Structure 1
Amino acid sequence: MMKNEKGFTLIEMMIVMLIISVLLMITIPNVAKHNSNINNKGCEAYVKMVQAQVQSYQMEKNKIPTLAELQTAGYLRDVKDCPNGQEVVIDSEGNVTAAAITD
């Protein structure tokens, strides 16, 4: 006479672990790819926001500011690099761009 024990066999548990592992291997690279895309979009938005602040500063003070001047005058709360690691730069004509950081 067999006992009717409820539970999972070792084979069933290993199959479930295999399925979970395959799902993780598929989803993790996709998440990493989307994360870099999000960082690039965040950088574009930050550059546009800094550009707007440069134009505001230019209208008020009649000169092209540096990032430090924007911060001291209260136009930017804090000066930081883009989420994707690029550096925000203001050129001599007042155009804001994001460039790779060079050491």
Structure 2
Amino acid sequence: MKRYYFKLKNKNLKAFTLLEMLLVLLVISVLLILIIPNIAKQSEHVQATGCEAQQKMVNSQIEAYSLKNNRKPDSIDELVTQGYLKEAQKKCKSGESITIKNGEASIS
């Protein structure tokens, strides 16, 4: 490709051609088109994994509650009132609720 030189106070300055700039923009656009769908898929996977981890954490708090009180809690609200969980920990970030059934945490 032909380079254009501009003379400014006895200095030669190199410049990019319009075609070179358009090629760079094309490459960047193609990369973005390929990357964005993968990021969206990873976000869904992170949300699901986070909810499973929160369920395991609630199960460990159920065990701590049962060791102290010699019985399993009847509801998740019992864990909140006793200070084992915070109110915000009753739901996953995806909006699913965590409930207690038969002494185990489950996602509903």
Which of 28, 31, 35 is the matching residue for 2:39? 31
Q: 2:96: which partner in 1?
A: 86
Please tell me the root mean square deviation across aligned C-alpha atoms, in Å: 1.7
Deviations 1:22-47 (A, max 9, x none): 10011111111111111111111100
- Report if the CA contact (8 A) 1:65-1:94 is conserved: yes
Task: State the structure with bigger RCO (CA 8 A, min sep 6), 1 or 2.
Answer: 1
CA distance in 2, matches of 1:35, 1:26: 16
Contact 1:81 1:87 in 2 (8 A): yes
Q: 1: distance between equivalents of 2:57 and 2:49? A: 12
Flag structure 2 segments of 5+ consecutive residues without an equivalent.
Answer: 7-13
Distance 1:85 1:10 in 2: 49
Give aligned pairs, total. Answer: 96
Q: Deviations over 1:34-75 (max 9, x none)?
A: 111111111111000001111221232224242222112111
Q: 1:63 to 1:4 in 2, by over 3 A?
A: closer
Secondary structure of the residue that 1:4 maps to in structure 2? strand
Structure 1 unaligned runs (5+)? none
The match for 1:10 is 18
Task: Give, as a single letter, the amino acid of the residue that structure 2 aligns with 1:30.
Answer: N
3-state DSSP class of the match of 2:84? coil
1:70 aligns with 2:71: no
Moved >6 Å (runs of 4+): none
Q: Normalization by structure 1: what TM-score?
A: 0.81
CA distance in structure 2 between the aligned counterparts of 1:33 and 1:63, rounded to whole angstroms? 37
- Structure number with larger C-alpha Rg: 2
Amino acid of the structure 1 residue aligned with 2:64: S
Q: Percent identity of the aligned residues? A: 41
- 3-state SS of paired residue (2:15): coil
